[in-house]
Amino acid sequence: MTDLPFPLSGSTLIVGPSQTGKTRLTAQALDAWIEQKGTEGVVVIEFAPEVERDGWVLGGRLDRFTTIPDRVWYGVLDAHAPRSEGKTEEEMVALAGDNAERAERILDEAPQPRAVFINDSTIPLQHAKSDLQKFTTYCTDAECVVMNAFESNELGTDDPVSRCEREAVKILREWADRTISLE
């Protein structure tokens, strides 16, 4: 097992641009938790869309890097990639809103976690109506929270989706016990 650059306690936010290893590191943390503490109370929430752009897959899912055990609660959002799929700002905002609504239902269905691992945590937070407080409140009582988030200007900066996402990352940085920045 690879040594992690953070403890498996409290809350850890992993940030960086595309293709820097955020999902892989989150998967390694999940594997380390299960190896050390088992699957009881483990919740995995998958918000990542899989989009090919210029020959690269953006937003890969955790199951590309690990096997999610059957005994783990696994909530998967079939997410849109608003900035890649939307042709106009209005379409981008509508896709982000759809992600936010459907992600909220996943959080409503998820059991209270002992440990929670969230891939691409800002996908449901790219819309002004996103409920970031509900998101962080869900995670508050967990012994361990590991989530990752896209943080870069590579997909845009001045559109409504990018502005909401930047604000969400800022708030998650303040909320998390620690932030790991990958370049």
Give the model's pLDDT for residue 155: 54
Alpha-helical segments (H) within the chain = 22-37, 82-85, 89-109, 132-140, 160-175
- The span from the CA of 23 to the CA of 62, in Å, is 6
Domain positions in the chain = 10-181
Give the model's pLDDT for residue 18: 84
Give the model's pLDDT for residue 1: 46
CATH of span 10-181? 3.40.50.300
Paired strand residues for 144: 10, 115
- 139 closest CA partner among 95, 161, 171: 171
If you average pLDDT over every residue of the chain, what do you get?
A: 91
Higher pLDDT, 19 or 44: 44
Per-residue pLDDT averaged across 6-10, rounded? 97
For residue range 100-110, list pLDDT tens digits in order.
999 999 999 99
Task: Output the CA angle 47-52-58, nearest 5 degrees.
Answer: 45
For residue range 126-141, list pLDDT tens digits in order.
999 898 999 899 999 9
Per-residue pLDDT averaged across 155-182, rounded? 90
CA atoms within 13 A on the CB side of 43: 24
